[in-house]
Chains A and B, each alone.
Chain A
Amino acid sequence: MFFRLTAFVVIGLLALRAASAEPVTHTTFENGLEVVVIEDRRAPVVVHMVWYKVGAADEPPLQSGIAHFLEHLMFKGTDTMESGEFSRVVEANGGRDNAFTSWDYTGYFQRVASDRLELMMQMEADRMANLSFTEDDWLPERAVILEERGQVLESRVGGQFNESMMAALYKSHPYGIPIIGWRHEMETLTGQNAMDFYDQHYGPNNAILVIAGDVDTGDALEMAQQIYGPVLPNPAIAPVSRTMEPPHLAERRLRFEDARVGTPYVNRMYLAPVRRAGDQSQAAALQMLAALLGGSSTTSVLERTLNFEQGIALQAWAGYNGMARDYGTFSLGIAPVEGVTLKDAEAALDAAVADFLEEGVDQAQFDRVRHQIRASEIYALDDMQGRARQYGVGLSVGLGVDDIDGWVDALDAVTREDVIAAGQMLLDRRNSVTGYLTQPTATSTSEVTQ
């Protein structure tokens, strides 16, 4: 206990010991604001986050990217704060601030010395209801998000490939639309669109406050009640109906060719169940399946088979994301060594998965993965911001604190048979899209140069 004001040394120590044993505090204020407090008194630092349960999947037609555009404009000012003042004040207090948008949520956070928490709360509560900006603010900011799309997506061939994969995976659901938006729609977004989206979705009754770090839970809740409590609920807030997926009757395949591809690879994405409040068992089995197939660059099934035994993969992977409101994804992929075609690589990948499902889970590997999960729980305690994020994402997508706290136990309860069953259930190709990322073929290249 060394990074703190000397006077608090002993108190801090005791508080952390207690906090580790006690559940995270979760409550809901009268105005609908959910509040989570995570005590961690090792350093005099606090993470203050506000999550809105609205994201890119809730955008109106023709306005893709509006949730993210609004996220940028949230830094422009309020009725009483100048444009840019929010970040200037955070900076003047030695803090860091940023924000992020997903399909299901939009989050704003500051990391500051813990004696600045009240100030952060005041400013965040202010822009929860009093956002205000002008054309001089939003017009250059629209150019910024277009540059952002250019930099993080269009200049990266992997990013463009991934965007195409998602668009092909979802036939109806808005997860198929990129969070940053389609360029042709982004170019038409206005400040009024953003303000309308704000008026429709922002307010304490659609938000989660997460405070993690060097605070006393009781004090933090009292402070939050004083500052956020008076913000009136927004009556316009109503659940957005999202288009759901019809049954998928045909697998989809795409081939993305670009001269900038240095390493070709195959990726396959399946629609998968998400973590559900009160029942995470299926999601836990899928998470274990991903860990066994691709969780280690050396010992997992795909690397062992395709890289070490067959020598045809530079790299092979598997991943599961179940932290979403409507649909999760399960991915499998392989980057083959030179001289192996993507088609052959894909066939080998499929064969490796099929063999795994037939032969069952190796007990020693299963034990190692479980041991690592337990240890990762301990390592995760070291990362205050990561913990805050876990709760923010979880609550945003409809999980409860019990579900988030119980995730490691849910993983622990998975049996080897559950893993195989999850794999067999999942791997229906009709729920998938398979993509090849590759250099242009010889014929199309010569056509271009002629």
Chain B
Amino acid sequence: MTRLLALTLGLFLALAAPLRAEVSITPVTSDSGLQAWLVEERSIPFVALELIFAGGATLDSDATAGATSLMTALLSEGAGDMNAQEYAARSEELAARIGFDAGRDTVSVSVRFLTEDADDVIDHVRAALTDPRFDADAVERVRGQMLSKLRRDALDPNTLASRAFAQAAYGGHPYGRGSDGAVETVAALDVDALLAAHQGAFARDRVFIGAAGDIDADELARLIDRLFEGIPQQGAPIPERAEFSAPAGLEVIPFDGPQSVIAFGHDGIARDDPDFLTAYVVNEVFGGGRFGTRLMESLRVQRGLTYGVGSFLASGLLGESYQGRMSTDNVNAAAAIDLLREEWAGIAESGITEEDLSRIQTYLTGAYPLRFDGNAAIASTMASMQYQGFDIDYVNIRNDLIDALTLDQVNAMAARLYDADALHFVVVGQPEGLE
């Protein structure tokens, strides 16, 4: 094999000067008082629009668990004078991409449309948001799909692990149950429950709007007022906070498969905590879901125990936890858990190094502009930043905030965040060597 002469690669790390992203976000206020953030980008003739409504599946009662999710799935199944097929055919005629999605804390609406069709698409989406039909046949069809998903989830080790962890962490709070409810509650949902979920979810008092693409501020203001005609001012009250209460220890759920899926974690840090960004940086060093983290290095690269391991700050609207996931061969489960505890204790005690900090600062500040590389990504980021309570200039100061962090601050956070003795583990599988 012919080889290239050796290259000099030693200088690479020195080249990493952080890139500045000059992001120009226009704040938009419509005549009726709705706020939106816009990034105008004229080069491709389409617009991406993202709406986030706070609330989500937490608005369901215990008896109607799954109502918000089923209601959201039914929004594209008929509205106004269109039945499900007519609604879909109209979406296709307009070549619009319309997505309705329900999560634990939010319901979101994502729309992409060709500039020339703006008004027609907005009218079409408004029909779903203000005048959904919930036809009996559509409800039964989509309910059947949702029940099928719930039955599939009940046999999926990853879902089982996440469900058990949430249940242990939050008990009877809505955070303790799955967003899609349970077979019994979904089977029992009636049209009144769907209508109530609909009225509770879509309101002007809880919406966050982002847009990007071939549109200016005036036009956007006009379109969002058009979209919100008929949407009420106030939605359903959002529940109380959820307290994390999973005990330290280990819970094994027997499951017949080759691997053990392990969910682990303990209490976390609130999204509005002034030191949240510091915790975010620490987690990026420790387990942030990519190569180069301590967990990946220790469990995958050094020992080949897993294909992937990661940790994340699960900070929601109503409560927070710090969690991680991994899968490993059943014979390795005990060893993997020991290592996780060890890494956990290690970072709490010794923190990270100056070199770790400097590397992660370079990575995070360099990676930031990569998030803004398309209209759809930008619109969704714009809505999500507002939902999370960021100021409009955050995009332009965020890298400075990260660069300003000192090792003392970061290590104080590591000591505060990590508590190996508090870890709760859920193991789904046939783990060997665990009780």
Contacts and interface: CB of A to CB of B under 8 A. Distances in A.
Interface of A: 1-6, 13, 16-17, 20, 42-45, 75, 79-81, 84-85, 87-89, 91-96, 111-113, 115-116, 119, 122-123, 125-126, 128-130, 139-148, 150-152, 154-155, 198-199, 203, 230-236, 259-263, 296-299, 304, 307-308, 311, 314-315, 335, 337-338, 364, 368-369, 371-372, 374-376, 378-379, 381-384
21 contacts: A6-B22, A43-B369, A44-B21, A79-B6, A80-B6, A88-B292, A91-B290, A94-B16, A113-B366, A119-B15, A147-B306, A147-B329, A152-B307, A298-B85, A298-B88, A338-B144, A364-B89, A371-B92, A378-B114, A379-B46, A382-B48
A307 B141 CA distance: 8
Given A16-B43, A383-B374, A140 B291 contact: no
A92 B359 contact: yes
Given A147-B307, A155-B257, A304-B85, A93 B112 contact: no
A337 B148 CA distance: 9
Contacts of B46: 378-379, 382
B6 A129 contact: no
A43 B369 CA distance: 8
Contact of B92 (A151, A152, A155, A372): A372
A61 to B, nearest CB: 22
Interface string B305-321: 11110000000000000
A230 B5 contact: yes
B259 interface: yes
Shortest 5 CB-CB contacts between residues of A and residues of B: A94-B366, A143-B304, A262-B152, A375-B95, A298-B88
Interface string B115-155: 00000000000000000000001000100110011011111
B257 A199 contact: no
Given A119-B15, A375-B95, A384 B374 contact: yes
Contacts of A80: 6-9
B4 A371 contact: no
B376 A382 contact: yes
A447 to B, nearest CB: 16
A155 B155 contact: no
Interface stretch (B62-70, B238-246, B295-303): B295-303
Contacts of A335: 148
Contacts of B303: 140, 143
Contacts, number: 267
Interface in B58-82: 76-77
B375 interface: yes
Given A93-B363, A139-B304, A142-B304, 11 more contacts: A4-B22, A44-B369, A87-B291, A92-B359, A93-B366, A147-B307, A151-B327, A233-B2, A262-B153, A299-B89, A368-B92
Contacts of A147: 259, 304-307, 327-329
Contacts of A152: 307
A380 to B, nearest CB: 10
Interface string B250-288: 000000111101000000000000000000000000000
Nearest to B8: A80
Nearest to B359: A92
B364 interface: yes
B369 A154 contact: no
Given A89-B12, A128-B4, A311-B141, A2 B22 contact: yes
B432 to A, nearest CB: 14
B301 A91 contact: no
B304 A94 contact: no
Given A44-B369, A260-B257, A151 B1 contact: no
A199 B1 contact: yes
B50 to A, nearest CB: 14
B88 to A, nearest CB: 3
A289 B319 CA distance: 48
Given A88-B292, A259-B256, A383-B374, A315 B114 contact: no
Interface string B37-57: 001111111101000000000
A133 B93 CA distance: 55
A209 B59 CA distance: 50
Interface in B333-376: 359, 362-370, 372-376
Contacts of B302: 140
A270 to B, nearest CB: 26
A234 B2 CA distance: 6
Contact of B93 (A13, A43, A371, A374): A371
B307 A96 contact: no
B120 to A, nearest CB: 13
Contacts of B1: 129, 198-199, 203, 234, 236
Given A155-B258, A296-B88, A94 B370 contact: yes
Contact of A379 (B5, B97, B290, B368): B97
A96 B328 contact: no
Nearest to B255: A260
A276 B16 CA distance: 44
Contact of B4 (A119, A231, A263, A307): A231
Contact of A44 (B7, B19, B155, B301): B19
A308 B84 contact: yes
A367 to B, nearest CB: 8
Given A93-B362, A155-B257, A87 B376 contact: no
B375 A382 contact: yes
A113 B112 contact: no
A296 B12 contact: no
A96 B370 contact: yes
A113 B111 CA distance: 28
Nearest to A89: B12
B20 interface: yes
Contacts of B149: 263
